[in-house]
Structure 1
Amino acid sequence: MAFFAAAVSSLLSQQAAKPEMSTRETPPAFQLKVERNLVVVRVIVRDREGRVQGSLRKEDFGLYDNGKPQTISHFAVERAPGEPTPAAIASGGKAQEGEAGVPSMSTPRRFLALYFDDVHLDLQDIMTSRDAAETYLKKSLGPGDRAAIYTSSGQVALDFTSDQDAFHRTLQRLLPRPVGDLTADRNCPDIGDYQAYMIVMEKNPQAIDVATEEGFECNCRGLPREAQPQCRADQQRDAYSLAVHVLNLTQDNAEYSLRGVERIIRRMAVLPGQRTVMLVSPGFMTASQRQHLNDVVDRALGSNVVVSTLDARGLATDPAIATSAMNPVIPMDRPDLANLKAQILIQREFWTQDPMTTLARDTGGVFFHNSNDLAQGFLEAGALPEVSYVLTYSPTNLKRDGRFHTITVKLANRGGLEVQARRGYYAPSKTQDAAAEEKEELRGALFSQEDVNELPSDLRTQYFRLSQSQARLSVFTHVDIGSIHFAKENGRNLDQLTILVAVFDENGNIVVVKQKEVTFRLRDETLDRLRKSGLTARTSFDVKPGSYLLRQVVRDGTSSVMSGLSRSVQIAF
């Protein structure tokens, strides 16, 4: 009995010795790939004249997943950027050199990534599109804008800047850089990317018949009649082998293009402000890579990146008209083969344009095509819609089977309006990591440009000069503890706050991020005092003089509510 009493006394002493509140700095983890049980749908609504409608409310929308109505869990209205958010004026103790918080009009508010698909573009299309791009950058890039130039081959790149000379030098380096030559083995039979897909993936008998007869016409027609049947069989076998080769090259080239878009979205996810990718391409085949295309759309929506697309070929020509010129080997006495080839080419046009259409439609962008006025195309692709609506829902009874789900957005009692929204998504195929989801929520809030006010908080700043080229910037995070729900255990009030503060330079590049974990084990009387005064935590950074954007995120561990604030600061002495 005495031993038990001593043990209890020892345990109580240990609990009493634990601090009521402790703070530790931890490294943030931001580069995570998370599959959520949430679907994001960006919607743009236009009238018959194409004017964007901005007065709709949550109750005006109906959302359906595979035909079943869904509950919209989050609704937001996003508008094109206006004036920059005024900087917070620093308050509190007097700093040695001055207070941070002077508005910086040069802080970027819009980031544009020009992405040239040099894996698929030919030289003529590159020359035309790069001239239009240079004109666009000269005339349309404002003081609050930064642009970057990337390529699908990865051999030419320029990170975000406003340097017009750098734009010119980089654009002049653009050249076609295909991954393997799709035309090298396509003399006879002439098997293109979509016909190869039909032969290998769809086992389409008509597609293989066209290729076999083309090969027979080239290689067997002059042989003795008795040798022709075997030659025809050889041509069918060779046509299939060639189709496999062409399809592999097609998939490799498409992967380069899709991975490039994905890399740019990852890069832009860490930038504040509005973010737009402009993909310049003739189109490419993704019929066998629909899941990857869907993943790119999901990443863009989750990172608040709009993808617009431009068809660099300009005014479209009917592929069926050019069939005879492209395939002179089709015998004149086989009009059925010529018709089949024409149908294949027409279908190919749809499939090569599909990723361009999907990326633009599903992310809220513009698909500019069938026009030689690429200068106008860049203007339209670079202009964000005046208003877009972001709907988020958690699918009811979602099975993690990797299957495609159709999405339908309907408007209630709003006749004459057109809806632009994604057509569907692929269900995840594995269980989610809850801890990874929390980290992804923090990452998303940190790199967002929107204020989040679920948890009342504020920030103020001070700086001190350390040397002629260095200053210490202090960020004071104030949180209203009165709105937090604490868990009760052994007479203590338990909770944990996560505080993230990031510093971005004037080009939107992240300079440094610091994360603090504040752990509470509060007595009732201490909690009462904090409810009145609130909690203030300081995060310090050593920085050079210049213009910066601060982003602060606070997350409550018990309720998962967050706050997010952005402030411009100018450090000068």
Structure 2
Amino acid sequence: MTSQTTPPLAKNSPPFTIQKNVDRVLVPVIVRDKEGHIVEHLEEKDFQIFDNGKPRAINLFMIERRVKTFSATATNGSRGTILQDPAIKRRERSAPPRFIVLVFDDMHLSIEDMAAAKKAGTELLAGSLLDTDYVAVASLSGRTNSGLTQDRAKLQETITSLQPRSVLKPNQTDCPKLDYYEADLIENKHDQTALQDAEQQLKICSTPPPDMLEEMAEMAARRTFSAGQLDVKTSFGWIERFIHAMSDLPGQRTLILVSPGFLTITPESMDAESHVIDAAARSDVMVSAMDARGVYVAEMNASDDMRGRSPRAVTDFRRSAMMGAGGVMSELADATGGTYFHGSNDLSAGLEKLADAPDCVYMLELSLDGIKQNGTYHRLKIKIDQEGVNVQARHGYFAPKPEKKK
């Protein structure tokens, strides 16, 4: 292959900060028919948007096509009129390049799941990508980054180098062994079943005085919860960083998150997710995600020391945590026009599916004029004036909080 100029993907960008835009919210919408085909040629009048159940006016309406390009213009906040790009005929003959960033979640993937994900990534490089595609392989921890390139050998080398990182995961020697989900139950929800389970673990792995059991269990939960918060902040930080690094690329932009997911169980983490969704919408980056756990089970295994513990409670905690972890991947995909692949062990087929992009994305813009700036979550509902269609769109947003006076 002849050498070409390789668009960079920032490796050493400045420390992560969330860019907040407080005057509008972008809502990418994908519309499919019963057979799953993209529905095109809808107009603004076909859409209704509800904010906490109340109808809202669409401030700006746009159509983004992944090969053909349409744009909308608006003056003084008026609604947009769709205009055909005069270069459309040329672009139909010569499609713009695709830029795909494969982000492997080395912060949360197990050794076994990482191995399966790497195999799927290798097969994607070998068969499904076009010669004109630019691809980057990166890790969620930020420690691995190939940069955007068409050099398949370099990409393969980067995939081979990926390893799970357990910096923020519970250590196997921890006593008691608590995950972020159970720590939240104890620290914030004051769940007695979770607290009793932590106390029983302490009885097994150490010999604390009986009158210190509760205090020690709560201290362990507090430590685990703090580590979990940092983990989520770091995860969203790198996703946002990759999105901004892609924002100026001249073609289709897709970020594919290969992950077991992670929990967003606090208002702070949900707020961070909402701002990442905004960043993706403004940067025209589609986020797709693959649950690299495949078909997973939550039942106990040989490594679990169950002496004195409730098998039912432990299984329930684990199942709830595993199900909740997938929510962030589904929400990021829904909100940005991407696809969420899950519940299948055929990870190669999943990555191949995610590497495709929808031909048409409708962009609705809402003004936040008149919205109380109190940090509350607003649920969004999109309705289409057409029967038999499936609508994929972001589920909501956080109203901005007023800036604190220094």
- Using the size of structure 1 for normalisation, the TM-score is 0.60
- Does the Cα contact within 8 Å between 2:168 and 2:228 map onto a contact in 1? no
Secondary structure at the aligned position of 1:161 is classed as coil
Any conservation in 2 of the 1:198–1:207 contact (CA below 8 Å)?
yes
Q: How many Å separate the matches in 2 of 1:365 and 1:107?
A: 20
Deviations 1:17-38 (A, max 9, x none): xxxxxxxxxxxxxx99341311
Question: Taking structure 1 as reference, are residues 247 and 312 closer, same or farther at Cα in structure 2, changes over 3 Å only?
Answer: same
CA contact (8 A) 1:300 1:363 kept: yes
Shift of 1:425: 0.5
Q: Which residue of 1 aligns with 2:185?
A: 198
| Structure that is richer in strand per residue | 1
- What is the aligned counterpart of 2:273 among 278, 293, 309? 293
Q: 1:38 aligns with which of 24, 47, 58?
A: 24
- C-alpha change, 1:32 and 1:285, in structure 2 (3 Å) is closer
Query: Partners of 1:81 and 1:316 in 2: how far apart?
Result: 37
What are the equivalent positions in structure 2 for 1:121-132 lying under 5 Å apart?
121-132=109-120
- Which residue pairs with 1:543 in the alignment? none
Partner of residue 427 from structure 1, selected from 394, 399, 402: 399
RMSD: 2.8
Q: How does 1:344-355 map to 2 (within 5 A)?
A: 344-355=317-328
* Correspondence list, 1:85-484, <5 A: 109-186=97-174, 189-216=176-203, 219=206, 231-288=209-266, 289-317=269-297, 319=298, 322-323=299-300, 325=302, 327-331=304-308, 337-395=310-368, 397-412=370-385, 414-430=386-402
- Unmatched segments (≥5 aa) in structure 1: 1-30, 89-101, 221-229, 432-573
Deviations 1:53-74 (A, max 9, x none): 2242211111011111111122
- Structure number with bigger Rg: 1
Q: In structure 2, how many angstroms separate the alpha carbons of the residues matched to 1:120 and 1:133? A: 17
Tell me how far 1:341 sits from its aligned partner. Answer: 2.3
Alignment-derived partner of residue 436 in structure 1: none
Residues 351-373 of structure 1 show CA distances to partners (whole Å, capped at 9, x for unaligned) of: 21121111111111111111111
What is the CA–CA distance in structure 2 between the aligned matches of 1:346 and 1:156, rounded to whole Å? 31
Q: 1:324 to 1:237 in 2, by over 3 A?
A: farther
Question: How far apart, CA to CA, are the structure 2 residues paired with 1:219 and 1:137?
Answer: 49
Q: Deviations over 1:196-235 (max 9, x none)?
A: 1111122222221222233335556xxxxxxxxx844322
Distance 2:291 2:203 in 1: 36
Counterpart in the other structure of 1:504? none
Residue matched to 2:33: 47
Cα displacement (A) at 1:82: 5.4
Alpha-carbon contact 1:330-1:338 (below 8 Å) kept: no
Q: Could you tell me how far 1:377 is from its partner in structure 2?
A: 0.9
Give aligned-pair identity as a percent.
Answer: 33
Mean Cα displacement is larger for which, 45-54 or 70-79? 45-54
CA contact (8 A) 1:44 1:52 kept: yes
> Shift of residue 106 of structure 1?
9.1
Q: Please state how far the C-alpha of 1:140 moved relative to its aligned partner.
A: 2.6
Q: What secondary structure sits across from 1:158 in the alignment?
A: coil
User: Match of 1:408, SS?
Assistant: strand
**Whole-angstrom CA distance in 2 between matches of 1:69 and 1:107:** 38
Q: Secondary structure at the match of 1:159?
A: coil
Give 1:70's aligned residue.
56
Counterpart-to-counterpart distance in 2, 1:423 and 1:246: 29
Write the distance in 2 (CA, Å) between the matches of 1:49 and 1:236. 55
Distance 1:346 1:258, change over 3 A: same
The separation in 1 between residues aligned to 2:215 and 2:302, in whole angstroms, is 26
Gaps of 5+ in 2: 1-16, 70-84
1:104-161 Cα distance to aligned partner (Å, 9 max, x none): x999521100111111122222222122112212323324321111112222111111
**What's the secondary structure of 2:28's corresponding residue?**
strand
Q: Is the 8 A contact 1:70 1:395 kept in 2?
A: no
CA distance in 2, matches of 1:107, 1:170: 28
Residue 330 of structure 1 deviates from its aligned partner by: 4.2
Alignment partner, residue 448 of structure 1:
none
Q: Taking structure 1 as reference, are residues 32 and 245 closer, same or farther at Cα in structure 2, changes over 3 Å only?
A: closer
Query: In the comparison of the two structures, how many residue pairs are matched?
Result: 369
Opposite residue 298 of structure 1, the aligned amino acid is D
- Per the TM alignment, residue 403 of structure 1 is displaced from its structure 2 partner at its CA by 1.3
Write the distance in 1 (CA, Å) between the matches of 2:239 and 2:355: 16
Whole-angstrom CA distance in 2 between matches of 1:298 and 1:269: 12
